[in-house]
Structure 1
Amino acid sequence: MRLNPDCIRDILLTIEEKTSFPAIIEYPDDMQVPRLNNYSEEEIFYHLSQCEQSNLINGLDFHSDGCVIYGLTPSGHRFIEDIRLDTTWNKTKEISKNIGSSSLDALKQIATGVITELIKSQFQL
């Protein structure tokens, strides 16, 4: 399956929105939000697994009816903060497309670069 950056973003936003300490959330029960309606269950499971392997979510336990998610890691929180705004996310995706890489590592680096440039522009550096 091909990585879908929009699915990753939507999953991370949903996890952030639905978790609180020390609660865990379950997919699909606790993640019924419109932003995930465009993705198949298989696509969501695949991208949840990618998020876990990329250290964006704390843990993931699959079971017969879905899975349990243990929240975002500090890296997951940083990434979602960098791509929260649609303008920043769209710029990140545009640069990703231009350079021909949409791996999670590339997206994280690009998002950090976009944020860095926005900060510099605020200080007119």
Structure 2
Amino acid sequence: MKLNESCITAILQAVQDVSTMDNGFNSKKDIDSIVGGYSEEEIIYHVRQCELNGFLYGYKPCNDGSFEIDDLTPKGHEYLERNKKFWGDVKPVSQTLNLPKQTINILKAVKKNDGLINPYLVVNGCSDDENWPRLQQLFDKNLLYKDQGYSEDGSPDSPVLRISNEGKAFLTDYESEKRGKRNKDIRTIFITALTTIVINWGPKIILFLIGIIKAS
């Protein structure tokens, strides 16, 4: 998997925000604080990269795939501050549309199956206790609404979930934000490569030009 500096920054920011003197970051309950819509696979990979780079203090992986982090190391704090000075503060998808990954997945599922999903049967790889607050968040932001459902014979049936125009607009903005993030990552790679070339070859090019000038 390709390294994504934006994901690393989002992870470090979440750990810094959540951690206190008494409690650290626990992925089972704090994973949604990592903004940016990253997949679980991306997060786990980049948490390991943070650990390898010495950014995390008290990193404890669990057998079920979850993990705990006590806090950032001084090196982790330094990296986060340096990165924020260069790129700016870590921000959600937008200032007004800040939803965690699992909640966005529910919205995507409803859009794909608009009018077909019963609100009591939402499947998101989570328990009902975890899904209901996410559904309520979507209702509160007017991204989803309940509508009357009907059976095949046209008789009234259980309510169904529908995505609102605001919900469709949110997903459009979300995908646009993801594309922008990918473009920023490409720019980062280009700048890094260009800097490496200048550092490694710049002096040689200068000496070569000086030699040509002296020979002329």
Q: TM range, normalised to the smaller chain?
A: 0.5 to 0.7
**Aligned to 1:97, which of 190, 197, 206?**
190
**1:59 and 1:70 in contact (8 A); partners too:** yes
TM-score by length of 2: 0.40
Shift of 1:59: 2.9
Alignment gaps of 5+ in structure 1: 107-125
1:32 aligned onto 2:32: yes
**1:27 and 1:68 in contact (8 A); partners too:** yes
Q: Distance in 2 between matches of 1:100 and 1:2?
A: 15
2:42 maps to what in 1?
43
Question: What is the CA deviation profile of residues 58-93 of structure 1, one whole-angstrom value per residue up to 9, with x for unaligned ones?
Answer: 1322221511112100000111111224xx227xx7
Alignment gaps of 5+ in structure 2: 89-184, 197-216
1:7 maps to what in 2?
7
**1:18 and 1:31 in contact (8 A); partners too:** no
Deviates more, 1:61-70 or 1:72-81: 61-70
- Counterpart amino acid of residue 76 in structure 2: G
1:112 maps to what in 2?
none
Q: 1:95 to 1:31 in 2, by over 3 A?
A: closer
- Counterpart amino acid of residue 100 in structure 1: A
**2:55 and 2:76 in contact (8 A); partners too:** yes
Aligned-pair identity (%): 29
Give the total of aligned pairs.
98
1:59 aligned onto 2:58: yes
Q: Distance in 2 between matches of 1:14 and 1:39?
A: 13
- Counterpart amino acid of residue 87 in structure 2: W
Q: 1:49 to 1:96 in 2, by over 3 A?
A: same
SS at match of 1:30: helix
SS at match of 1:31: helix
Shift of 1:26: 0.7
